[in-house]
Amino acid sequence: AQRVTQPEKLLSVFKGAPVELKCNYSYSGSPELFWYVQYSRQRLQLLLRHISRESIKGFTADLNKGETSFHLKKPFAQEEDSAMYYCALRAGSARQLTFGSGTQLTVLP
Amino acid sequence: DTEVTQTPKHLVMGMTNKKSLKCEQHMGHRAMYWYKQKAKKPPELMFVYSYEKLSINESVPSRFSPECPNSSLLNLHLHALQPEDSALYLCASSQERTDRDTIYFGEGSWLTVV
């Protein structure tokens, strides 16, 4: 069975500082990895997916199959980045997502 | 239109009530999902519908009864719920094509069982 681990429940950084939200996964096959963001009282939104290899709102994430990681990074955090971030995995031909426990990011002024 | 719309936004119901949550999407998606999310916790999958047929039931108690009347609509019928069922219920949809599939979530329905 697949599993997603986000080791940090809470993460605080100052505005302008780099930020990295960690995500590790376990899955024997070839996974599809996603980062979703949930701003306060708003819907869960897709931020990044590994197959797109794009940068959204300054965030990037690289799938490292050797380390089974998909860490989310941003070089200069902004206050509006404060939100709950979920790493998620879709396994093989499955339709559903398996979510990590989430990291609450707070960007301090 | 890239929205999944859920109604009602808030629902308070007693343990003997019967109510329904509704979800609608007009993106032509053929897979629809119900997730349950407790405060500060990740969403947990409840049901998956694929082409209007129930494909996954994650051992959800029978007091939750999903229904997919057509490809755009998904309902969750609620009956004899318990206070611990109070949560945010999220509907989601996706296209059903593996390599281009993005799952879109609705804003959710906040359910309180009293």
pLDDT tens track of chain A, all 109 residues?
789 999 999 999 999 999 999 999 998 888 889 999 999 878 899 999 887 777 788 999 989 989 999 999 999 999 999 999 999 998 876 778 899 999 999 999 9
Q: Which of B7, B6, B24 is nearest to B72 (CA)?
A: B24
Q: Judge: A44–B105 Cβ closer than 8 Å, yes or no.
A: yes
Q: What is the mean pLDDT of residues B91-102?
A: 77
Q: Judge: B106–A43 Cβ closer than 8 Å, yes or no.
A: yes
Give the pair of three-digit tokens for residue B105.
């979530």
- CA of B46 to nearest chain A CA: how many angstroms apart? 10
Residues 6+ apart with CB under 8 A from A46: A34, A35, A36, B102, B103, B104
CA pair distance B94, B52, nearest whole angstrom: 13
Q: Which of B101, B84, B49, B96 is nearest to A34 (CA)?
A: B101
pLDDT at B98: 56
CA-based radius of gyration for chain A:
13
Contact A79, A13 (CB under 8 A): no
SS3 A49: strand
CA pair distance B38, B19, nearest whole angstrom: 19
Contact A60, B59 (CB under 8 A): no
B60 close to A (CB below 8 A): no
Q: Judge: B48–A46 Cβ closer than 8 Å, yes or no.
A: no
* Angle value at C-alpha B69, between B63 and B75, nearest 5 degrees: 40
- CA of B103 to nearest chain A CA: how many angstroms apart? 8
